[in-house]
Amino acid sequence: MNELIQTVAVYALPVIFAITLHEAAHAFAAKYFGDLTAFQQGRMTLNPISHIDPMGTIVIPVVLYLATGGNFLFGYAKPVPVNFGNLRKPKRDMAWVALAGPGANFIMAFLWLVFGVILRAAGVEEAFFMRMAQAGILTNLVMLAFNLFPIPPLDGGRILISLLPYKYAYKFAQIEPYGFFIVMGLVMIHALQFWMYPVITVANLLLNLLVTPLTLILS
């Protein structure tokens, strides 16, 4: 129980920021490209309460953590409502709206990495803050990779629908009602890792490349 409390304390802020800004980014992008649905429903906000799904964000992750000893963790936020038909150019703009969420996670992962670099340069020896920085990087990279998986209704699926020719995009979009179950099946048989690990690795390499100038300046 003590280990669980410590883990929750370390991951609380990173997870809240990751979820909130991911969903808010979708809402901001949707409004920018012409759809006011999320804005009118109060979802274009940085208030985490507006984006947290009690079951998917709290209950399911905690139960899975306890049931598997931390070996398997899954959760989700309340999806931001987007009426793609309201976008100025629906097929094209769908990709930008979908990409906004993972893009926000990449930026947050970068900021957590910068935070860690500054902590080390300042000689901060408090392990809690370093663990929080590492948790922030990991949480956002996992969210980025998972949401970019090319199956609707995940963001990657939306992006793929946007890129495919109309004929194939329409057919591919038909699997959306089954997308969640497909993804969960892949998670359960450990097949999703063949997507997650390469994406996380590439994103992490890019992050470290971007932060190299700051590291050199502070070293």
The residues annotated with a catalytic role in the active site are 23
Please, which residues have CB within 8 angstroms of residue 157's CB and are 6 or more apart in sequence? 149, 150, 151, 172, 176, 179
In the chain, what is the straight-line distance between the N-terminal and C-terminal CA atoms, in Å? Answer: 39
